[in-house]
Structure 1
Amino acid sequence: MPHYITLATCALNQWALDFEGNRDRILESIIQAKKKHATLRVGPELEIPGYGCLDHFLENDVYLHSWEMYASIISDERTHGILLDVGIPVMHKSRRYNCRILSYDGKILLIRPKIVLANDGNYREMRYFTPWLKTQYVEEFVLPRMIQKITGQITVRFGDAVISTLDTCIGAETCEELFTPQAPHISLALDGAEIFTNSSGSHHELRKLDIRMAMITEATRKCGGIYLYSNQKGCDGDRLYYDGCALIVVNGKVVAQGAQFSMDDVEVLTATVDLEEVRAYRALISHGLQSRTSPIFERIHVPIELGPDAINFDISISPSVERSIKYYLPEEEIAYGPACWLWDYLRRCKGSGFFIPLSGGIDSCATSVIVHIMCWMVFKACEQGNLQVRNDIQKITNMGDEWSPSSPQEIADKIFHTCYMGTKNSSLETRTRAKELAHKIGSYHIDLNMDALVTATISVFEVATGRKPVFKVFGGSMIENLALQNIQARLRMVLAYLFAQLLPWTRGKTNSGGLLVLGSANVDEQLRGYLTKYDCSSADINPIGGISKTDLIRFIVWAEKEFELPILKEFIDATPTAELEPITDSHVQSDEADMGFTYEELSILGRLRKIDKCGPYSMFIKLLHIWSDRKSPEEIADKVKRFFWYYSVNRHKQTVSTPSYHAEQYSPDDNRFDLRPFLIDPRFSWARQKIDGVLAKMKTDGKLSTMSID
C-alpha cells in the first residue's frame, strides 16, 4: 500500500553576513513549505550566515550571530510542526565546523558536521573549518546558553548519525560529499536510510549543470531512495553566482526541479513521494547482502510521522510524476547568469546604476546586452508581481512607491549609462554601432571625442623630456607604439570613473549613489594579457571576464534573434579591433593579429593549461595530436612557446584584474581561482629544449607515428 509523504527543499538568495535578512528568508521558506503540507524542509549550506563569508568564518562573532538567528528561528512557533534541516557554522571543542542542525518543534535532534570539505578551485573550506573525519561517530555537544533556555536541552548529539521517525529514516550529506568516491549516501542507504538531504553552495559554470544533475540522480539510481537537494542562489558577495536548481529525486527519477536563474529570493520546491517505491526498488539480493557488512549509524529516534498512516490514508493524495531536467544552452546561461549576478550586486551595493565605455566592439556590446537582459528580467519580475524586485528597482531609481516600469528600456534609461570615447583612431562604423545599440536597449548614451585629453597628456611628456613618441606606422619604435596605445586606454578608465560619479548629478539625481563601472575584457584576452593594466578594463565588476570570445559571439548571435536586436549582426560581422593605432591605407589594427593567436586557439590553450594542468612540454605533446590536421609541428611548437611567454610576462596584470563573474574552469583569476605566481621566467628554457628535441627527432624519423616520446 502506498505511503505518501510531502517533502520540501529550497533555493535561497542569501547574502554573506546579512544575518537578519538571511533569517527572514529562511523563515519565509519554512512558512511556504508548511503551506504546501510538507513535513520536512531542507535549506542550503551555511544558510544562516551565508555561504561566502570566507575569512569572516574565522571571526567568533559569526558563530555568535548565527546562534542568535537560529534561536529566533526555532523559538518562532510558525516553524514548529515540520522537521527542519538548517545550515549553520558551529564551534565545538574550539574547532570550527560546517554543520547542519536538524530540529523538530523547537527541539534540536542532531548537529551533523560536514565530513568532506570543498578545498579546490573557488573553495577554501579547510581554511575555515575542520572536517569531521570520524564517520559513524557521535559525541555530546553542549548547547549555547541562549539555546538551552529555549529548548530546555543542555546537550545534543553531534556527529555522523541519522534521524529515525516512526515511518522512515533520514540521512544527510553536504555538497562536496556527494561528489566523492565514497559518498555518504551509499553507506546510509545500506543502513536503511530512505531519505537523503543535501545542503549545497554550488556555483554556476558554463556547461556544468549536467554534471551536477548526473551525480544527484545517480545517488539514488543505484541505491534507491529519495534525494532532496537544496542550493544557494544568487551573488552572495563575491565572483560566484550560485545557480539554485533545487531538486527532488526518487530512485533516480526527477520529480521536481527548481529554477537555475531567477530573481526570486525564496524558492520552495515540494513533491509528494511514496516510501513504498523506495522499499520495492531496494528488493535486491545484492543490496541485502551488502547491507550486512556496511557501517552502522547511530539512530536519533523521534516519535513523529512524516506521512499519514495506513488507517488515515487519503485517496485524493497523488505522488509527483517524473519530469525531464531543464537545461539551458550555453548562450542562455551567459544571458541569465551574469544578468542575475549584476542585479544582486547592484541592489545590495546601493548604487544607482551602471556605466560602461561602449566601444562599438563585441566585448562591450556583450556586456551591454547582458545589462539589457537584466533590465528585461527585472521588468518581467515586476509584471509577474514580484514585490521584492519591484521594491528594489524603486529604491535604485528613486522613483517612489507607486512607480512600476513600463518596459526594459525605461529601466535602462534610469540605471544604465553608456559612453563612446572616440579618438582620431576610431572609425565611424564603431561610433555608429555603439550609438544604435544604446538606442535599442534604452541606455543613456554620450558620444565624445577625447583627442584633446590624449594630446595634452603626451605634451606633458614632451615638455618634460624633449622627446615626442610617434606610432610605428609613422616610423616610431615598438615601445613608442605601445605607449601611445596604452595612454588612450588608461585615459578612458579615468574618464569612465569621472562620468560614473557625476552623470547621476547631471541628471538631477543628487541623492543617489554613483554608478558602478563595468569592465569588458573576456577570459581569453585576460589569459593572454591582451589588455592594458589600469585601462578601461579596470572597473568595479566585469560580467564577461570569465567567458570566452567564441562563447560571447554565440551569445550575441542568439540574443540578436531572442531579443530582436538586429544591430547585433553588425557587431558579429566586424573584425575585432582595439582602434588604438592610426588607420591607414595599408594598416587596420586587428586583435587576433596583435595577439598572434585566434580566440579559438586561446580557448584551447587555456583549457590545457588550467583544466588539463599542462606545462609547455605536455601541452605541445597534446597539441601534436589535437592540431595534427591543421598545423605543422613547428607551428604548434611556436604557438606553445609564444603562449607561455605572453601568459608569463603579463601574469602581473591578473593581480589587479577587475572582479569577474566566474564562468569558466580555465579562468586566470589571480585573486582566488588561479593561484599561480605573477613573477615567472617566461623562457621555460628546459621545456623549450624538450620541445626542440621532439621536433629534431620528428625531423629525423620523418613522421610522428614512428616517434617515441619520453
Structure 2
Amino acid sequence: MKHGYIRVAAATPDVKVADPEFNRERICEQIKEGIKNHAKLMVFPELCLTAYTCGDLFGQDALLRRAKKELKEILKETKGHDLLCFIGMPWEESGKLYNTAVAVQNGKILGIVPKTCLPNYSEFYELRYFQPGNEIPVMVKWEEDTVPMGANLLFACEDIPQLVVAAEVCEDAWVPNPPSIRHAIAGATVMANCSASDETTGKDIYRRSLITGHSASLVCGYIYANAGEGESTQDLVFGGQNLIAENGTLLAESSRFGNKTVYGDMDLERLVHERRRMTTFPAADRNHYLVVPFRMKKEELELKRLIDPRPFVPDNESERNRRCEEILSIQAMGLKKRLAHTGCKHGIVGISGGLDSTLALLVTVRAFDMLKIPREQIHGVTMPCFGTTDRTYQNACTLTRTLGAELTEVNIREAVSLHFRDIGQREGVHDITYENSQARERTQVLMDLANRLNGMVIGTGDMSELALGWATYNGDHMSMYGVNSSVPKTLVRHLVRYYADTCGEKDLSGVLYDVLDTPVSPELLPPKDGEIAQKTEDLVGPYELHDFFLYQILRFGFRPEKVYRMAVHAFSGHYGKDEILKWLKVFYRRFFSQQFKRSCMPDGPKVGSVAVSPRGDLRMPSDAVSRLWLEELENL
C-alpha cells in the first residue's frame, strides 16, 4: 500500500445451483488465491453462496440455514488475514429475506449490505423473494454478537485513511440514482458490487461503460464481480464479466464465458487528489451513515499496474489519430479567433526546420484556410546564423514553399556579430550570452517584420520547453500567440507525423518525415562536420521522461518519491534507476527556478488536462523554492 497502491480483485467462483457447500469450497479457494496474490479487497458475485438462480428455493429453510453454516466456514478461512471480502448471499432478518453483500475480514463479519433496488421486470423477479434493503443501518444478531446491517455502511481502514469502501448489489448500479452516489458523497473511495447480470447481445459493452462511467463521475475505484457460467440455468446465461475501474479507466476485465479472477492495483492517492482538486466534488457528508473501522497491514507491492510511459500520447493508433486531429483543430481555432479579433491578415512564423516551428506553421496554415486568407500572407522566416545546418535550412525552405507560404530569409550572422562588439562579447566564447543573443535577435526580426506587415508573430515553443524553462527569456519565449504552448514535446512529434501520414501530398510528407528524423536542437552552437552539435536532450534530458514527470506532478500532485517509483516501473528496460533519478532532479530544479518565464508567457490555446499558463492551470509563485521536493529525492 506504499504510495497509495492497493491490490483489489473481482472473483467469479464455479457454483452449483442450491449447493452452498460446493460454492463455499470454491469461494474459499479463490480467497486463498487472493491472499497468495497479495490482494487486500476481493469482491464475489451476487448470491454466490447459494447461486442467484435458485428461484422459489429461496423460500426453503434448508437452503437459508445451510448458507449461514457455510458462511461460518468462510469466516474460518479468513481468520488471521486482513483481506476484506464481499460475499453475496441471502440473509433472513425479522421474518424477511434480503439479497445482501456480506463484508468479512479476519474471521469476522464487519457488516451486511442489503440490495436497495430489486428488479422485477423482463427476466428478473426478485420481489417475489426479497425485501428492498434498509438504508439506515441497524444492528442484527449473528451468533453471540451483533453486526450492522444497512445500505449506508462505510468500511474505513484505520491504517490507510484513503481506503473507505462501500457496497451495492447489481441492479443498484443500473438505476438513475444509484446508492454509490451517496456513498461517494459520504467519503467512500472504493465501491464493491456483487452482481448477477445475465448476458444478452451487446450487454457487455453497456456494462463496461456503466461501471467505468460510475468510477469517473464519482471519482472512485469500482470493483464489479459478476456471476458466471455455473449460474446458467433454464433461460439465462451468465458470462462472468468482471470489471475493475478507477476514475474512468478500466484497470482489468475478465473475458466472458469463463469463471476467472481479475486483479488490479488501484491508486488511492490519485483518487483522493482528484477529489481534492475538484472544487465541485462535495465535502464528505456522513449523516445517516455508520462507519465500520477495520485494520489492514501495510505492505509494499511489486506493481502489476500498467503505468503508461507516454501519458500524453494514446497507444491505440485510431485513438491517437483522433486525438491529433482534435488538437490540431483546437490550436487552429484558437489562432483563428485571435487573428479575426485583431484583424491581422499576416502571420509571421520563425521556421528553423525543427519540429516545433513545423507544427506552428501547419497550424497557421489551417487557421488561414479557415479564414480564407491566402497562404501567401503567411511569412515563414528562416534566420540562419552560426549554428544553422544545411539540413534544417533546406527543410525550412522546402516546407514553407510546399505549403504555399511566403519564404523570407534574414541572415542574422552580421547583426549578431555587431551586437557582440557593442556589448563586448567575444565571438569565440560559446557561453549563454553567445546563444541567447542569437535567440533574441531572431525574435526581434520576427516582431519588427510583424510591425512592418501589420501581422502577428506566431509562437513555436512547446509546453515541455516551458516546463523546463528551455527558452530564451524575451527570445523564443515571446510571441503574440503561442499555438504550441500546451502541447508537450512527445505529442508534437505525433502531431507532425499524423499530418505527414494524412496530408496526401508526397512532397509535403517527404519534408515532414525528414523533420521528424532530425535531432531536437536550438542550433545556437556551430555545427561539427556539418552536423548538429547541440542536441537538446543531451543537455536537459530525454523529453519522454520530462513529459512523464510533468504529467504526474501537475495532473495528480504526486510526491517526488512516488513519481520516481512510477517512472522506474513505466520505463523499465529503457532507463536505469540512476538515470531516471538524475533527470527527475533536473526537472524539479528547472521547473521551480524557471517559473518567472511562465509567469509572463503569451496567450495560447489549452489542449489537454495539463497546462502551464499562469492565467489558467498553474498559479505558481515565481520565487517558490524546490528544496522540499529535492530533499525527498536525496533521501531515496
Shorter-chain TM-score: what band? Answer: 0.3 to 0.5
TM-score (norm. length: structure 1): 0.43
* TM-score after normalising by structure 2: 0.48
